[in-house]
Chain A
Amino acid sequence: MDMRAILQIEFESRRKRNPRYSLRAFALSIGTNHGTLSQILRSQRRLTSRNIRQLGARIRLTDAQIRDACLAGHCDSIVSLIADPRFKADARWIAIMTGIPLDDVSVALHWLLHTRRIAMLDRRTWTLQS
């Protein structure tokens, strides 16, 4: 599960316990501000692995959950890039364009293939799978 979804679930869970709990209060509790959090939840702000680790620690995710959230974030970034007309089937190029370390790109590519989210059809064509 990606960090955006985790944050959304955590916020809703807290609001269920306290219907007056605000996004501003949630942002404060996880060490960010209301505007930033709002952008994250609306997918208008990209989360780096560093952001994910910081936020994950603040909502007390386990190390494994944080790793999964980082992997999910990397996968989503790569998927977005594959849909871009400028896309190049080149892990180094992906690493530069996304800011994801090359080894993390490799791990994410393996996961995307394993979960059938992408397919490598020929040397230069990678496609998204439904």
Chain B
Amino acid sequence: MPHPVTGWQIISPHPDATAAFYQQLFDWHLDRNNTLGYRELTTGDDGINGGVWPGPPDERPFAQLFIEVPDVHSHVERATSLGATVLVPASVLPDGDVMAVLKDPVGLPFAIRSRSKLRDD
């Protein structure tokens, strides 16, 4: 089964400035009207959508990929068996997506996600 990259996220200590920069540069659509107040950026018909999440003031900004999996829990186990560490355990977000954030063996954070069927209803 394919495991496509279906999203990305920038963690920024200045989330407003970061989101505004990319929105203005690429005319992406910015929407914060969701239960987490998450800055969702829609990049266009053929693009992969992403978002900006606030990070602590002393943290350098970075980007991470979201990879779609059918079952987050089993992929967390699989990832850890391959040397990844869990930063945020599998969590059900208010929109119904299940997500976990891991760090690969080299130290790069990434997220795996199972999108909620509610989004398609």
Contacts and interface: CB of A to CB of B under 8 A. Distances in A.
Interface of A: 64, 67, 71, 89-92, 95, 102-107, 109-110, 113-114, 116, 119-124
Given A119-B89, A120-B92, A120-B93, 9 more contacts: A67-B58, A91-B35, A106-B53, A107-B54, A110-B53, A113-B88, A120-B91, A123-B94, A123-B96
Contact of B95 (A113, A116, A123): A123
Contacts, number: 52
Given A89-B35, A92-B35, A103 B91 contact: no
B7 interface: no
Contacts of A95: 37
Contacts of B38: 106
Given A91-B35, A123-B94, A123-B95, A113 B89 contact: yes
B49 to A, nearest CB: 18
Contacts of B94: 89-91, 123-124
A87 B93 CA distance: 15
Interface of B: 15, 35-38, 53-58, 87-89, 91-96
A119 B88 CA distance: 10
A9 B111 CA distance: 39
Interface SS of chain A: helix, strand, loop or mixed? helix
B56 A103 contact: no
Contacts of A124: 94
Contacts of B89: 113, 116, 119
Nearest to A113: B88
A99 to B, nearest CB: 15
Q: 10 closest Cβ contacts across the A-B interface? A: A120-B91, A103-B54, A102-B37, A90-B35, A113-B88, A91-B36, A122-B92, A106-B54, A120-B92, A91-B37
Contacts of B57: 67
